[in-house]
Amino acid sequence: MPQQKRLNSKASATKARPKSKGRGAGSASARVLNSRKAADRGPKVDPDWIRARKQLLKSVKAEVRQRVGEDPSDVRAAHREVERRLKSRFRPSSKSEILAELESVDFVLGGDFHAHGPAQRTHFKILRQVAIERGLILAMECFEISSQKWVDEFLAGRIDLEKLRNKAKWDSRWGFPFENYRSLLELARRRRWKILACGWPRELTAGRQGLFKQDAFVAKRLWVASLQEPGALIYLIMGELHLPGIERHLLTMKGASASRNLRGNWRGASILALHVMGEDVYFKLALKSLEHTVDVVRFLDAPAMRESSVAAFEGSRRGAITQRAESLSGVRRFVALCSPPWVLWQSYLLHLDRTVELEWADAGRTEEDFDPTDHVRRHIKWISQQLGLRIEVQRDTQNLSVYLVSDPRLWRKIENQLKATDRELARKLMFEERSFVIPAGEWACLGQPTVNHAAHLAGEYLQMKASGRHRLTWKFPSDFEAAIFVEGLAYFASKYVNPKRQSESFADLRASLQAWPHGLTGGSPAEEEREALRLALDQRMLELMHFHQGRQRRVQVRPKRTSSWLWAALVLGRMLGERIFTADRAHKLPRRELSRWFKLDVMRPDFRREYLQILGRLARAVGTEVAPSDVLMKSLSHRPRRERI
């Protein structure tokens, strides 16, 4: 009987197996299936792209080390601990999953990269969507414990942000950009959250085991706050290297409390660790071409702490308690990739050059003495090498001078060297903290001392040098397509350095124009907004009609203000740069062709024809956007009753 059952099973398996129509047909269908699977997997992995970014990260870290010296032993140990914790298995996640986990945790240990604004904005985007009924305590390293009374005064509404900045001695004691934390402070006051100062003075953190002592103090401060307000969510924003130590101390306290049967009705001090630095995670995603689509990952298992590592920090007795706590309650660990890893360190390098070098210099120097030209040159060199542009940095950039918006020398150059129309546009760009290059004198304005602005400026300068352009593209309307194209290449260059950068939309254009004062716009913000929006939309309709129908026409909207042309060109240029970057990452744009675009003479009379051909090339490579909706199309009409968008 058993033998008969086996025979029956073999016969049924043979019947269930489909008959092949021939070897050729089967192999052909398999090839079609494999090709479809390959298409679904997305763009191919570019090993050269990954290798170049790893080399860039290594070189930027080396420059940081040259400025600040070697890290102390406890800092190096913290680096190793963070790297070890972020090398376990992970899966793609989302901000929604983080928000769902906040309902059932007691502590959120949020990492911070102080010099990089997107790191603080990551926490702001999460906190502004928190909808929990229990209380929330926002613990922040940026305020020293001696500033707690001034923080309370601010939350009570008795002092404003600027007075809080002065009373807390922010610039001298913390030193990182205050604007990066402004939205978090305003959100806490609006939601009536408590802010807990967790910073230690520099004098106490220096020396041997300074990092360990600070972590122990902060963990105890968080623990006491949880005892004083049971059930409240404690959200800490602190340097990334502090997270392993604070996590370790909290788990030690939890293990000690569990051994003494304290707080029996408590959920168990569950911890969510949210990192913003994940170099290993980023490059693992890049190996699967997911670095641009995945922003949040969750680790599948929190690695248990090795006993030797625990003993080095806690001692053998407390190490056993910590291991017991970790085994009972795993830490929920996420990484939010706010920016590529090299952008984080470039931001820190830029911050060092603005602050540390000035502190070492003579006391008579001010912030205006900071020269950002070297940072722009660094980006020019790297981008030109990656794109195959033959730019000799030492020779071709020797006349380049870059100034910050706050530098009075920039204002004097604008007043003395630019014509009236160009001078007005330059003032508006400076008011909006935009970056731009003046080809005639090879000097430039760096709108903000950030990596995005420096790379954007480098891209515009590369286009100017490669094409031999000697004047601004601000002669409207004849320079409209040229201004869009130059802005597109400049934005592509910045996106090449920081792939996480987001292009502007029509909503961003509207918000920016509404913020302009009446004196700069020459009219009401609503009129300026309407002109720029209608012009940008009309230009996009023109481009779509040319691609889909082959029809060519000029823009029908004729703004009264020159600034409307410029503002529309900036927004359209950044959208164009986004499409160029997408085509480049999808390997549908040869590097030779991209280099040719940088060398195009945008000042020649027939450039418009070349511009439309480039748009068609991009549309065939990566697709084109759908036509605007009926509401937006009606806004292009010249009849006054249909001007509203």
What pLDDT, on a 0 to 100 scale, did the predictor assign at position 313? 37
What pLDDT, on a 0 to 100 scale, did the predictor assign at position 514? 56
- Contact by Cβ (8 Å): 423, 414: yes
Considering only 42-51, 72-81, 221-230, 284-293, which range has the smallest mean pLDDT?
Answer: 42-51
Report yes or no on 291 lying in a domain: yes
Q: Say whether both 293 and 405 belong to one domain.
A: no
Report yes or no on 142 lying in a domain: yes
What pLDDT, on a 0 to 100 scale, did the predictor assign at position 369? 52
Q: Say whether both 468 and 570 belong to one domain.
A: yes
Mean pLDDT over 290-305 rounds to: 78
Report yes or no on 361 lying in a domain: no
Mean pLDDT over 430-456 rounds to: 92
C-beta pairs of 284-293 under 8 Å, 24+ apart in sequence: 285/337, 286/45, 286/49, 286/50, 286/53, 287/45, 287/50, 288/45, 289/41, 289/42, 289/43, 289/44, 289/45, 290/92, 291/337, 291/340, 291/499, 292/499, 292/500, 292/585
Considering only 4-8, 98-102, 351-355, which range has the smallest mean pLDDT?
Answer: 4-8
For 458-489, the pLDDT digits (tens) are 999 999 999 999 999 999 999 999 999 999 99
For 523-539, the pLDDT digits (tens) are 555 677 778 888 988 88
Mean pLDDT over 406-411 rounds to: 90
Determine what percent of the chain is predicted with pLDDT higher than 90.
Answer: 52
What pLDDT, on a 0 to 100 scale, did the predictor assign at position 137? 96
For 549-596, the pLDDT digits (tens) are 777 777 888 888 888 999 899 989 999 999 999 999 888 999 899 999
Report yes or no on 620 lying in a domain: yes
Q: Say whether both 141 and 196 belong to one domain.
A: yes
Domain range spanning residue 497? 371-642
Q: Which helix (H) or strand (E) holds 117?
A: helix 117-127
Q: Are strands 436-438 and 443-446 parallel, antiparallel or unpaired?
A: antiparallel
Torsions phi, psi of 401, nearest 5?
-135, 125
pTM above 0.85, yes or no: no
Report yes or no on 557 lying in a domain: yes
What pLDDT, on a 0 to 100 scale, did the predictor assign at position 258? 60
Q: Say whether both 323 and 271 belong to one domain.
A: yes
Q: How confident is the model at residue 493 (pLDDT cuts 50, 70, 90)?
A: very high
- Residue 537 to residue 645: CA distance in whole angstroms: 11
Q: Say whether both 250 and 155 belong to one domain.
A: yes
Last-in-domain residue among 316, 339, 362 = 339
Considering only 14-18, 284-288, 481-485, 519-523, which range has the smallest mean pLDDT?
Answer: 14-18
What pLDDT, on a 0 to 100 scale, did the predictor assign at position 511? 58
Torsion of CA 491, 494, 498, 502, to 10 degrees: -20
Report the CATH number that the domain containing residue 257 is assigned in CATH.
3.40.50
- Contact by Cβ (8 Å): 395, 423: no
Q: Say whether both 328 and 260 belong to one domain.
A: yes
Contacting residues for 370 by C-beta, under 8 A, at least 6 apart: 353, 354, 357, 358, 404, 449
- Contact by Cβ (8 Å): 147, 204: no
Q: Say whether both 331 and 382 belong to one domain.
A: no
What pLDDT, on a 0 to 100 scale, did the predictor assign at position 99? 94
Number of domains in the chain: 2
User: Mean pLDDT for the chain?
Assistant: 80
- Per the model's pLDDT, the better-predicted residue between 23 and 617 turns out to be 617
Q: Say whether both 298 and 403 belong to one domain.
A: no
Q: How confident is the model at residue 269 (pLDDT cuts 50, 70, 90)?
A: low
Report yes or no on 219 lying in a domain: yes
Is residue 371 left, alpha or beta, with left meaning phi > 0 and alpha meaning psi from -120 to 50? beta
Mean pLDDT over 345-349 rounds to: 92
Q: How confident is the model at residue 71 (pLDDT cuts 50, 70, 90)?
A: confident
Q: How confident is the model at residue 186 (pLDDT cuts 50, 70, 90)?
A: very high
- Residue 150 to residue 143: CA distance in whole angstroms: 10
Q: Say whether both 308 and 405 belong to one domain.
A: no
Q: How confident is the model at residue 153 (pLDDT cuts 50, 70, 90)?
A: very high
Amino acid letter, 227: L
Mean pLDDT over 391-410 rounds to: 86
Report yes or no on 401 lying in a domain: yes
Cα angle 588, 589, 591 (rounded to 5 degrees) comes to 135
Q: Say whether both 218 and 309 belong to one domain.
A: yes
What are 507's two structure tokens? 């909503």
Report yes or no on 5 lying in a domain: no
Mean pLDDT over 73-80 rounds to: 89
Give the gyration radius of the chain's Cα atoms. 29
Q: Say whether both 286 and 400 belong to one domain.
A: no
Torsion of CA 216, 221, 225, 231, to 10 degrees: -20
Q: Say whether both 279 and 420 belong to one domain.
A: no
What pLDDT, on a 0 to 100 scale, did the predictor assign at position 152? 96
